[in-house]
Structure 1
Amino acid sequence: MKNSRRDFIKNATVASALVAAAPGKSFAILHKDLKEDDQVIGHGGFTYKADKGWAKISVNTNPLANCHEMVQDSKGRLIMLGDHTHNNILIFDKSGKLLDYWGTALPGGHGLSISKEGGEDFLLLTDCGWAQDRTGNNYGQSGQVLKTTVDGKLIFAIGHPRTIGVYKDDEPFKPTETAVAPNGDIYVADGYGSDYIIQYNSKGQYIRHFGGHHNDNKDHNLVNAHGVSIDNRDKNNPKLICTSREENCFKVFTLDGKFIKRIDMPGMYVCRAVINDQNIYAGVCWSKDASGNRFDYSGFLTVLDANDRVVSNPGGAAPVYKGGVLQPTLQAHNPVFQHGHDVCVDEDKNVYVCQWNAYHTAPVKLTRV
């Protein structure tokens, strides 16, 4: 398998389906300072039990830094992207057994999307252009987006928009996310760079960009455009849901970049919107305290219904509306998560949670109850 991959993952090591927890410290042990797994979290019809030892891997063989995002492929496998270059990609079955791992060239591995073309799954991997040295200090580099097969063969790469005259010389490009439209168009969220959403066709050719910071109508701006998703709940009228994380909201656009509305999420620094049936799920990376100040290790998850109303906050306080307006939401008194970064929802409505800055822990499984 190794020989079938291009240079960008030349040194990746592939594991077989027999990989399990090796001797030594396990990820389950790293969770010992958290609350017990029998705690039921969430609200309304969206309640869960957390399994923090779900991933059957060892820190000795499969080290992790940050578990950024996860998707499920057509075979039911769960594919995770992280930023540890020993194994950027980890592939699990639903029991948490590790089936495969690969990738050594994405020190800023951040965004992961999946699309199907001609019956085959493809991945879009986003390197945000930020990484850490061995002392833990951040350093910057240019970001990139890679389209690959699920086993790591490179199809094409999208580099800095400046190279095709789209960005000015002083506009940074540090992409955080992608989404693929029904016609194959690719939308890139430049969430750590210039906050544009950049639209390409299925071959990676530029079409347009929108968002950013300089629109006359401030609602059209994005501030930390951390995520972008295709909302197909209305099959005849698909839309884009874009994260404006520093504004604690989602902003909804047409597929050609026209602003429709915003969905306010007061107190919540939300990551990408994950659509499942009629619901939106999202990780909350930080929340605010009662005084309105953001603080670290204050993340949780949030779930919205078809009318964009929050119905559950697993790991957070129950949603409260006054006069139809959502009130600021805090982390629960018994924290379960540190920084919720992404979720993946399987066919049984179980949720797999990836976290940033969470003591190098593996994804947590939430079993619906």
Structure 2
Amino acid sequence: MENSRRNFIKNTAIASIAAAAVPAKSFAILHKDKQPDEQTIGHNGFTYKVDKNWAKISVTNTPLANCHEMVQDSKGRLIMLGDHTHNNILIFDISGKLLDYWGTALPGGHGLSISKEGGEDFLLLTDCGWALDRTGNTYGQSGQVLKTTVDGKLIFAIGHPRTIGIYKDTEPFKPTETAVAPNGDIYVADGYGSDYIIQYNSKGQYIRHFGGHNNTNPDHNLRNAHGITVDTRDKSNPVLICTSREENCFKIFTMDGKFIKRIDMPGMYVCRAVINENNIYAGVCWSKNAQGKQFDGSGFVTILDKDNKVISNPGGEAPVYKNGILQQTLQAKNATFMHGHDVCIDEDKSIYVCQWNANHTAPVKLTRV
């Protein structure tokens, strides 16, 4: 039964694990020196209390490598994707209790999006094609995109774009993110490969692609197209928010790939934009130091208002604008995060922060205060 459950790409539903099956020992218990952090972080009314021990998971049965992304389903459950092949997917309730876990086939598990069709939730997962071997060294492979049910039943897979003639043999495909439009179209960000945004219909059939990094107009280029989001805050005019992480900015495109504008985020290596009501939230995977150089171990969360102006940087310094231009933002002196990779916002406006390369830490909860 356990072997059947662990076979992620079989086209069969995976039974839920009973709560009694979740071991009592958790990260919070095994690491008594890491008690809940009472620190309050953030700015301008977007302030939060930090809880680093929110996730009640077993270090034996549910080991973590990198917590890449998290979404919330229509039942209020929090679904996390990581790249540890003992359990790619972890499903929590709002208190941090582990409800279910599955998946062993995504050593480069990276991007996680959710959509609803006919009253049912579906997941879109990306494997970016990067993984670690047994000695801890990184190796590369072709990436893939999978559409599944919430319990792991495979609907379809999207493979290398060269199979349909839109990539050259020399162009790598290492997808990092997906987004689903109101009409069901799927947008794939090839953020670790060739930096294209590829649009498919709801059945995974190719429509067009744009971006890349060889356009005459540099505004049309993407440099590390790490994330993509459909922005429906103006319901009559949805747009795409694409991350150009190496340029420290978001770039806005029409739904058919025409460049509109950019949102500069000086000093911030931002991940995907997450829309909640009128705000944009994003993890900052690295930040720059005072000398303007990227440095490891940095990162925080950033929050923008309805006008795409930064209003709070939990874990970073307060935003500063001069003559309407955002100045470089540094990590706060008392660092809270290492490489903030994604955020998920619940109905209470609490933020769940997933971190990459952060000593195998579970998601951190920021409770709005």
> Do the aligned residues in 2 keep the contact of 1:92 with 1:98 (CA within 8 Å)?
yes
Tell me which residue corresponds to 1:22. 24
Q: What residue identity is the alignment partner of 1:119?
A: G
Write out per-residue CA displacement over residues 91-133 of structure 1, whole angstroms, 9 at most, x where no aligned residue: 0000000000000000000000000000000000000000001
> Do the aligned residues in 1 keep the contact of 2:127 with 2:143 (CA within 8 Å)?
yes
Structure 1 residue 36, shift from structure 2 partner = 6.1
- Report matched runs for 1:152-231 at 5 Å: 152-231=152-231
Structure 1 residue 17, shift from structure 2 partner = 2.6
d(CA) in 1 for partners of 2:273 and 2:32?
Answer: 26
Identity %: 78
d(CA) in 1 for partners of 2:307 and 2:30?
Answer: 40
d(CA) in 2 for partners of 1:307 and 1:252?
Answer: 13
Structure 1 residue 22, shift from structure 2 partner = 3.3
Normalised TM-score (structure 2): 0.96
d(CA) in 2 for partners of 1:328 and 1:266?
Answer: 5
Structure 1's unaligned 5+ residue stretches are: none
Tell me which residue corresponds to 2:98. 98
- Higher mean Cα deviation, 8-17 or 286-295? 8-17
d(CA) in 2 for partners of 1:179 and 1:17?
Answer: 32
> Do the aligned residues in 2 keep the contact of 1:9 with 1:102 (CA within 8 Å)?
no
Write out per-residue CA displacement over residues 276-300 of structure 1, whole angstroms, 9 at most, x where no aligned residue: 0000000000000000010001110
> Do the aligned residues in 2 keep the contact of 1:5 with 1:152 (CA within 8 Å)?
no
d(CA) in 2 for partners of 1:192 and 1:28?
Answer: 37
CA shift in 2, pair 1:244/1:121, >3 Å: same
CA shift in 2, pair 1:328/1:159, >3 Å: same
Write out per-residue CA displacement over residues 62-93 of structure 1, whole angstroms, 9 at most, x where no aligned residue: 00000000000000000000000000000000
Q: What residue identity is the alignment partner of 2:218?
A: K
Write out per-residue CA displacement over residues 132-166 of structure 1, whole angstroms, 9 at most, x where no aligned residue: 01211000010000000000000000000000101
- Report matched runs for 1:298-313 at 5 Å: 298-313=298-313
Task: Report the aligned-residue RMSD.
Answer: 1.9
CA shift in 2, pair 1:331/1:166, >3 Å: same
Structure 1 residue 252, shift from structure 2 partner = 0.3
Matched, 1:67 2:61: no
* Partner SS, residue 70 of structure 1: strand
* Partner SS, residue 298 of structure 2: coil
* Partner SS, residue 163 of structure 1: helix
How many residues end up aligned between the 2 structures? Answer: 367
Structure 1 residue 214, shift from structure 2 partner = 1.2
Normalised TM-score (structure 1): 0.96
CA shift in 2, pair 1:194/1:46, >3 Å: same
Tell me which residue corresponds to 1:297. 297
Q: What residue identity is the alignment partner of 2:27?
A: S
> Do the aligned residues in 1 keep the contact of 2:7 with 2:103 (CA within 8 Å)?
no
> Do the aligned residues in 2 keep the contact of 1:26 with 1:59 (CA within 8 Å)?
yes
Tell me which residue corresponds to 2:362. 362
d(CA) in 2 for partners of 1:19 and 1:238?
Answer: 44
Q: What residue identity is the alignment partner of 2:334?
A: N
Structure 1 residue 20, shift from structure 2 partner = 4.3
Structure 1 residue 314, shift from structure 2 partner = 0.2
> Do the aligned residues in 1 keep the contact of 2:162 with 2:168 (CA within 8 Å)?
yes
Tell me which residue corresponds to 2:334. 334
d(CA) in 1 for partners of 2:215 and 2:177?
Answer: 22
CA shift in 2, pair 1:293/1:31, >3 Å: farther
d(CA) in 2 for partners of 1:28 and 1:310?
Answer: 37
CA shift in 2, pair 1:6/1:137, >3 Å: closer
d(CA) in 1 for partners of 2:211 and 2:126?
Answer: 19
CA shift in 2, pair 1:250/1:91, >3 Å: same
> Do the aligned residues in 2 keep the contact of 1:31 with 1:52 (CA within 8 Å)?
no
d(CA) in 1 for partners of 2:32 and 2:316?
Answer: 19
Structure 2's unaligned 5+ residue stretches are: none
Tell me which residue corresponds to 1:83. 83
d(CA) in 2 for partners of 1:219 and 1:359?
Answer: 36
Q: What residue identity is the alignment partner of 2:196?
A: Y
d(CA) in 1 for partners of 2:10 and 2:364?
Answer: 27
Matched, 1:249 2:246: no
Tell me which residue corresponds to 1:50. 50
* Partner SS, residue 219 of structure 1: helix
Structure 1 residue 216, shift from structure 2 partner = 1.2
Write out per-residue CA displacement over residues 325-367 of structure 1, whole angstroms, 9 at most, x where no aligned residue: 0000000000010110000000110000000000001000100
d(CA) in 1 for partners of 2:138 and 2:313?
Answer: 31
d(CA) in 2 for partners of 1:362 and 1:319?
Answer: 27
Write out per-residue CA displacement over residues 235-284 of structure 1, whole angstroms, 9 at most, x where no aligned residue: 00000000000000000000000000000000000000000000000000
